[in-house]
Amino acid sequence: MKFALSLLLAASSGLMAADVNTFSIVGYDPVNGDWGVAVASRYFSVGAVVPWAEAGTGAIATQANVNVGYGPRGLELLRQGLSARQVIDKLLAEDTFAGKDGRQVAVVDGKGNIAAFTGPNAPTWAGDRQGKTWSAQGNILVGPQVPEAMGRAFEATQGELAEKLFAALKAGDDAGGDKRGKQSASMLVVRKGGGRNINNDRYLYLNVDDNPQPIPELRRLLDLQLGMLYQDRMGKLLSANKPKEARAAAAAYAKYMPSANALISLGLMDYNLGDKPAALSDFRKALEMDPAAKLRFTPNGGQGAGRMQAVLQDTEFLKLLFPNN
């Protein structure tokens, strides 16, 4: 009985400690002005604990024997002008909670400076690796190959920060990741004014809280989010009379959210820019995906019909698109 009780107490104390044994990456994109964090763990709802970021200020990942207060306090210190390294030094100096030597934290500041700390008692394997614009770190990992693979993937991936962060996270997972298994994943990217709707700097904040395959699910959510962001960007660029930039956004929208509507939007961009062969290809793909989209090519085609007027008046083009009519 006493033995059983001691086991229960040990298990309870382990749960109370709430270690966030995980692998993460913080990164910075100076071109778009993005700061972000991506993280995965055998831990429920890791996104509620590890990632912190603020546009123009920086990003922080706090984990292992985690002091969650490192997130908000770290951002406050960054706002005061402290560098990434100074922030970590200050956080550790101020930390009066037990288990400080088991903490793990990484910071990228508003200027893109990188710093990290892995305490000597962080659960093994624990460690971190840095590059020019990123820091990858983890604990209870299969080994150093995890952050090393993450760094290589981050640097080898083209495109925006969200894609680089996801590539790094997937590479870490493929390299073995958290040796206890998989449960949750999260990504937070901030950009001044980059979020959806009004006055929103959270470009994206995605959370997979409890899933046996969190990385593929994070990819699915990322595609949806980026698709919606590019759809919104396309509309804004059209309103600003920037057709070439709008076309690029439409292509990204169709890539991330392949649908008849997205392909018709892309086709309209191509048609209005004078690339009728590309427009024809776009429209054909849309009709293959959804034959009901043919309604869009009629005078009463519903929402967006006004933008179709030039196409609807081009009889030669319509003959190519609908040769059997």
Query: What's the CA gap between 242 and 287, in Å, rounded?
Result: 27
What is the residue type of 101? D
Query: What are the contacts of 88-91 at 24+ separation with CB within 8 A?
Result: 88/115, 88/116, 88/117, 91/67
What is the residue type of 129? R
**Nearest residue to 168 via CA among 185, 183, 190:** 185
Query: What's the CA gap between 190 and 202, in Å, rounded?
Result: 5
- Tell me, what DSSP letter sits at residue 197? S
Cis check: omega of the bond before 125, within 30 degrees of 0: yes
Query: What's the CA gap between 318 and 29, in Å, rounded?
Result: 44
The SS3 assignment for 140 reads coil
| Residue pair 293/311 in contact by the 8 Å Cβ criterion | no
Query: Residue 186 is encoded by which pair of tokens?
Result: 């999260």
CB-based burial label for 31 (10 Å; 0-12, 13-18, 19+): exposed
What is the structure's pLDDT at 9?
Answer: 32
Compute how many other C-beta atoms are within 10 angstroms of the C-beta atom of residue 170. Answer: 22
CB-based burial label for 151 (10 Å; 0-12, 13-18, 19+): buried
Tell me which residue has tokens 């693979």. 149
Query: Residue 155 is encoded by which pair of tokens?
Result: 């640097």
- Tell me, what DSSP letter sits at residue 294? G
What is the structure's pLDDT at 298?
Answer: 84
Query: What's the CA gap between 284 and 235, in Å, rounded?
Result: 22
Q: Which helix (H) or strand (E) holds 161?
A: helix 161-174
| Residue pair 73/51 in contact by the 8 Å Cβ criterion | no
- The reported pTM is 0.89
What is the structure's pLDDT at 294?
Answer: 92
Q: How far is CA 11 from CA 6, 66, 100, 179, in A?
A: 9, 18, 21, 19
Query: What's the CA gap between 150 and 152, in Å, rounded?
Result: 6
Domains and CATH numbers, the chain: 17-211 (3.60.20.10), 237-321 (1.25.40)
What is the structure's pLDDT at 21?
Answer: 66
What is the structure's pLDDT at 178?
Answer: 81
Q: Which helix (H) or strand (E) holds 61?
A: strand 58-64
**Nearest residue to 149 via CA among 175, 128, 118:** 175
* Spans of the chain, pLDDT less than 70: 1-21, 301-306
What is the structure's pLDDT at 180?
Answer: 84
| Residue pair 299/312 in contact by the 8 Å Cβ criterion | yes
What is the structure's pLDDT at 20?
Answer: 58
What is the structure's pLDDT at 127?
Answer: 97
What is the structure's pLDDT at 153?
Answer: 98
